[in-house]
Amino acid sequence: MRILVCKNYEEMSKKAAQMILSQVTLKPNSVLGLATGSTPIGMYKNLVELYNNKLVDFSDVVTFNLDEYYQLPITNDQSYHYFMHDNLFNHINIKPENIHVPNGMTDSVEAECIAYEQAINEADGIDIQVLGIGTNAHIGFNEPTISFERGTHLVDLTDSTIQANARFFDSIEDVPKKAVTMGTGSIFKARKIMLLACGEGKAEAIYNTVHGKITPEVPASILQFHHDIVLILDEAAASKLD
């Protein structure tokens, strides 16, 4: 695990965007695994700026998002489909057919999950996976549980995740209780992983991820086994590491 500690959120976001820039420069048809949430917003802003300054071209890039709420229409501004278009896709030259976000509105969630995994395989896998981390160390929406899930699946969100995400909704009752998420196995197959975390609230999850026992009760702990992973943290998220 490489760990990069940045002064603050701005520096973390710049570094993360530079990693994506290098990836797409070296391989213009890169397959990017993307995350939502508040953490990567600064990285997306930087990428849009790099695109506006003609420093990066997304025309051959393919993306797969980690997750989507279950049964939340894509027109809802809290859906991850909406988030990604609002923060990134609407501002760059990515081809709509190259964008993949799990379809949380499906009637047949099992078939959707199988098709999502197949699409990742057909794209020859993910070159670089961007991750945030939950305060309970979830990655994607792989919540603490008794076993690691391999592929894309439907998951019940834990109370702590529902509470953490309530800040984006009018009331806690409006937060979806389920989501479709890539599995820990799907995430782990990415050739490179870049995990971003900022703020003191993530410090314990980061400590457990880096130094803790590898257990599905700390989903991100499995990343200790990945051969090419970088954690880009602000000082607060790194504060328990030494």
Nearer CB in complex with ligand F6R: 23/138: 138
Regarding 195 and contact with ligand F6R (CB under 6 A), the answer is no
Annotation marks residue 200 as catalytic: no
Annotation marks residue 138 as catalytic: yes
Residues 58-77 close enough to bind ligand F6R by CB under 6 A:
66-67
What residues form DSSP beta bridges with 194?
Answer: 130, 230
Cβ–Cβ under 8 Å, residues 137 and 224: no
Nearest to 194 by CA among 2, 9, 50, 52: 2
Stretch that binds ligand F6R, among 8-16, 31-39, 84-92, 93-101 (CB under 6 A): 31-39
Cβ–Cβ under 8 Å, residues 186 and 149: no
List 67, 127, 149, 234, catalytic entry: 67
Least Cβ distance, residue 138 to ligand F6R (angstroms): 5
Stretch that binds ligand F6R, among 14-22, 117-125, 132-140, 217-225 (CB under 6 A): 132-140
Annotation marks residue 156 as catalytic: no
Stretch that binds ligand F6R, among 109-117, 139-147, 148-156, 226-234 (CB under 6 A): 139-147
DSSP symbols for 201-222: GGHHHHHHHHHS---TTSGGGG
Q: Which of 16, 47, 139, 231 binds ligand F6R (CB under 6 A)?
A: 139
Buried/exposed code over 29-42 (b: 16+ C-beta within 10 A; e: otherwise): ebbbbbbbbebbbb
Least Cβ distance, residue 51 to ligand F6R (angstroms): 21
Annotation marks residue 136 as catalytic: yes
Least Cβ distance, residue 53 to ligand F6R (angstroms): 26
Number of residues that bind ligand F6R (CB under 6 A): 14
Nearer CB in complex with ligand F6R: 109/198: 198
List 46, 136, 165, 208, catalytic entry: 136
Token pair for 126: 């993910």
Residues 33-52 close enough to bind ligand F6R by CB under 6 A:
35-39
Which position's Cβ is nearest ligand F6R?
A: 132
Which residues of the chain form beta strands (DSSP E)?
2-6, 31-34, 62-65, 67-69, 99-100, 128-131, 153-156, 178-181, 192-197, 229-234
φ/ψ (deg, to 5) at 136: -95, 15
Least Cβ distance, residue 118 to ligand F6R (angstroms): 21
DSSP code for 157: P
Helix axes 41-52, 80-87, angle to 10 degrees: 40
Residues at the interface with ligand F6R (CB under 6 A)? 35-39, 66-67, 132-134, 138-141
Residues belonging to the active site: 67, 136, 138, 143
